[in-house]
Structure 1
Amino acid sequence: MRAGGHIRMRGVLRHPRTPPAAAALLSLAAAVELLLRANGDIPLPLALSLALGTTVPVAALGGGATLGRGSRSSTSGAALPASAAAMLALAPFHVLTLAGLCALLVALHQAGRHGPRLLAVLLALPFVVYAVTAASAEGAGERVMTVLVAVCAGVAAGTGIARSARDTALVNSAAERAIAETLHEHAARGERARIARELHDVVAHHISMIAVQAETARLTTAGLPTAGAERFLAIGDTARTALTEMRRLLGVLREDAGPVTPDRRPQPGLEQIGELVDEARDASAAAVRLIVEGPVRPLDPGVELSAYRIVQEALTNSRRHAPGAPVDVELHYTQDALRLRVRDNGPSPHSSDGLDAGHGLLGMRERATMVGGELRAGPARRGGFLIEATFPAPVREHAA
């Protein structure tokens, strides 16, 4: 019941006819009060003019729309004459009515909420100044009335300004949330599209090679028993089925990622590490060195891609947590492994807790584990932060 009554009240306040009706009622009440208080000291036409000058502007507060949503120009245009008439009625002539005071407070509140905030302060300021400067020259009743008007005027303008600030903060907060959700969704779609590309370029390539090699072995192996040929045929069929299912999965990922611009470039590998280091050096204006030890040789595409992505993420984290610090990227090729080290020389080690769990250390560990490697990360002995990864990289014998 309370909620329904509140909604109905808000509907009444926002009705286009509410401001004129309120102005008419306040004007009638002010006129009746002046007639009852008339003592001949002030000409009645002058007193009525001041009373109407205070109450009639309320009709314009809605700006032809609603009392709660008046435009800035209509609110300012109504608050100025209402405040001027109220000040004249209070100070020289002492004929400010209760209805006029109500109209003044409504005008000041609306000016603070929908008009320029400085205007609301300036309109309320004369009442405060008058209460301070003229209170000693008035009688007790006049002093109470003057202080009451000044306090009410300041509160009305202040609550309007506070409501305006609150409304602005709510709008800004909603806009920030919408932008953050959009960016998060865009990043998630981009990540799904990237995963789909990597699955297609690495895993699908290996599965297709299994199918081709099984078919080749079945057709070219001399003296192959029938059972062996059937097994090779089954291997090829299974690989082709797996490839079909993977393509369906990739289709789902790409659909979920939304319309994206096709990226026809091959996935990066260790050959592009030099370009990555150059880009990091140019972006951070810091010393970034690439150190390569051992005989360089092509590795498994999955290993190369994982190593590249780990170096990329490590350089990004170094720029984020130790901006301007020198960074060393080391690749050490051994007989059966690739050892990767990325170390920044920041003034203090940045905690691994500061890295995003989805795209930081956890993501790098998952990449290393995916290809049979391992990754360690933590503060370096001589300061800074160190990331070490080891990948299996046996020497491959290429067929002639």
Structure 2
Amino acid sequence: MGEERSVAAAARRWLRAGEGVPAVTVGCALAAVAAGETLVRGAGPHGNLAAVLLLTLATTLPLAFVLRSEGIGRAGTALALSAACVLALVPFRALTAAGVVAQLTCVYVLTRGGRPRLGGLLVVPYVIVALFGTEDATRIVAVLLATLASAAAATGVAHHARSTALAHSATERAFADTLLEHAARGERARIARELHDVVAHHISMIAVQAENARLTTSGLPSEGAARFLAIGDTARTALTEMRRLLGVLREDAQGTDGTGTRRRPQPGLGQLMELLDEAREAAGSTTRLIVSGPVAALDPGIEVTAYRIVQEALTNARRHAPGAAVDVELRYGDADLAVRVRDNGPGPAAAGSPGHGLLGMRERVATVGGTLRTGPAPGGGFLVEARLPVRAEALA
């Protein structure tokens, strides 16, 4: 009994794995031949009934394996089922409606699974029978089968193409979302690092000045000294908390940014001419700097933001409008600094949809309380225009 159970279990695993699919189907095809011979010889009503049952089994049972198996198993089973259907039709003229449905389903499943040639191969025997058959009834059935099978194959191919296109589209969207998230995360990290450096300097100065005022102011009441001491303690506490929150950007023991690269001072508007010279050399085009209004030293955070906006705008112009002339304009006002970068290229049509650079610029400008506008420039080209507050109270 134990051996019988083990044999039965092995047989079930064999069939479930698809290894026995071709053998089972070949057996069904041989059963179809035997059934056809029974019909031809006329073995009586009971024999004819058994033959019909065998034909039905041979032309329909393999469909279950076609639907469940993959790869070579599916292909071999489909070919065997098709052979059984052809044998049932020619020469025995005993193909059932269930066999026709199974044949059409096989063609559709194969083409939908990305095997259009194999699906078309199953149609060929019916085309041959339709062209060279000797009996009209058989030829009519063959023509019908060839037509329906061709339609099933076309439907399967269309379904496979649509599924493939949807899968590719989903992959591209996921990839684009990942790139966008990665770029946004990187830009936010860079902004945080720059704010860390700039704001830390100011908070440190508050602590130092409060301590100096407490120690150097003559005749300072004890209450005033206590207030200066509280200011210094609060500033140092705020500096500690800020550095803890931005610890991912803290310099390591060797004075690097965590990637082995030596940290440099944050750039400002004083380094803008160097940036423009690099842009001219890289793009080989004209790049002008136009400055208007009373030039004054600005908050370091504002200067870093203005520098990064110009840097990103020049990069975008070099990428989307190579060779185009670029004008960089700084307009100093009483309340804000206007930064305008304009190229005379083809405009936003060439740049396509908003990219990671524009997203980073918007986040950077929003961090300092400014505004940003991007789009087609009057008279052609592309324009990036930002307005940044210049007073310390505007940043609070």
Match of residue 23, structure 1, among 25, 47, 50: 25
Deviations 1:152-184 (A, max 9, x none): 432443444345435534543453344344334
What is the alpha-carbon distance in structure 2 between the residues aligned to residue 20 and residue 262 of structure 1? Answer: 61
Describe the SS at the equivalent of 1:209: helix
Which residue pairs with 1:273 in the alignment? 272
Cα pair distance change 1:281/1:100, threshold 3 Å: farther
Alignment of 1:128-277 (within 5 A): 128=127, 130-131=129-130, 133-134=131-132, 138-139=135-136, 141-169=137-165, 171-251=167-247, 261=259, 264-277=263-276
Instruction: Give the alignment partner of residue 381 of structure 2, picking from 377, 380, 384.
Output: 384
| Counterpart in the other structure of 2:5 | none
Give the letter aligned to residue 119 of structure 1. L
The offset of 1:232, in angstroms, is 1.3
Q: In the TM superposition, what is the alpha-carbon distance from 1:238 to its structure 2 partner?
A: 1.6
Q: 2:341 aligns to what? A: 342
Q: Is the 8 A contact 1:19 1:58 kept in 2?
A: no
Listed one character per residue, the Cα deviations across residues 362-387 of structure 1 (whole Å, up to 9, x for unaligned) are 446525635xxx66666545433444
CA contact (8 A) 1:287 1:327 kept: yes
Moved more, 107-116 or 345-354: 345-354
Q: Does the alignment pair 1:111 with 2:113?
A: no
1:209-262 Cα shifts (integer Å, max 9, x gaps): 1111111222223333323222211211121122223223324899xxxx9747
Change (3 A) 1:271 1:323: same
Distance in structure 1 (CA, Å) of the matches to 2:74 and 2:192:
57
Aligned to 1:305: 304
Shift of 1:332: 5.5
Q: 1:333 to 1:129 in 2, by over 3 A?
A: same
- Return the letter of the residue paired with 1:68: R
Question: 2:329 maps to what in 1?
Answer: 330
Q: Comparing 237-246 with 188-197, which one deviates more in the overlay?
A: 188-197
Residue ranges of structure 1 left out of the alignment (5+ in a row): 1-13, 41-47, 395-400
Counterpart secondary structure, 1:328: strand
CA distance in 1, matches of 2:335, 2:152: 79
Partners of 1:237 and 1:303 in 2: CA distance: 27
TM-score, scaled to structure 2: 0.68
Q: Please state if 1:124 is matched with 2:123.
A: yes
**Cα distance change of structure 1 residues 162 and 23 upon mapping to structure 2, 3 Å threshold:** farther
Partner of 1:369: 369
The answer on 1:70 being equivalent to 2:84 is no
Is the 2:58–2:84 contact (alpha carbons within 8 Å) kept by the matching residues of 1?
no
Q: Which residue of 2 aligns with 1:6?
A: none
CA contact (8 A) 1:57 1:81 kept: no
* Cα deviation 1:326-367 (Å, max 9, x = unaligned): 211134668997553312223557799964697277446525
Counterpart-to-counterpart distance in 2, 1:376 and 1:178: 28
SS in 2 for 1:341: strand
Distance 1:171 1:206, change over 3 A: same
The residue identity in structure 2 corresponding to 1:343 is R
Larger mean CA deviation between 330-339 and 359-368 belongs to 330-339
Q: Conserved in 2, the CA contact under 8 Å of 1:75 and 1:107?
A: no
**1:340·1:390 contact (CA, 8 Å) conserved in 2?**
yes
CA distance 1:332–1:148, change in 2 (3 Å)? closer
Distance 1:351 1:115 in 2: 37
2:177 and 2:347 mapped to 1: Cα distance?
Answer: 33
Q: Hey, what's the Cα distance between the residues in 1 that align with 2:93 and 2:352? A: 70
Q: Which amino acid aligns with 2:228?
A: F
TM-score, scaled to structure 1: 0.67
Does the aligned pair in 2 maintain the 1:329–1:342 contact within 8 Å?
yes
Aligned-pair CA distance for 1:128: 3.5
Instruction: Tell me if 1:97 matches 2:95.
Output: yes
Among all aligned residue pairs of Structure 1 and Structure 2, give the percentage whose two residues are the same amino acid. Answer: 54
Contiguous gaps of at least 5 residues in structure 2: 1-14, 43-50, 251-256, 392-396
Shift of 1:201: 0.8
Partner of 2:40: 38
Letter in 1 for 2:70: G
Q: 1:28 to 1:348 in 2, by over 3 A?
A: closer
Using the TM superposition, give the Cα deviation of residue 143 of structure 1 relative to its aligned residue in structure 2, in angstroms.
3.6
The verdict on how the C-alpha distance between 1:129 and 1:31 changes in structure 2, with shifts beyond 3 A counting, is closer
Q: Aligned pair in 2 of structure 1 residues 285, 113: CA closer, same or farther (>3 Å)?
A: farther
Larger CA deviation: 305-314 vs 242-251: 242-251
Measured on the aligned residues, the alpha-carbon RMSD in Å equals: 4.8
Matched residue, 2:46: none
Instruction: Report how many aligned residue pairs link the two structures.
Output: 357
CA contact (8 A) 1:352 1:361 kept: no
* Pairing of 1:282-321 with structure 2 (within 5 A): 286-291=285-290, 299-318=298-317
Contact 1:26 1:100 in 2 (8 A): no
Bigger shift: residues 324-333 or 281-290:
281-290
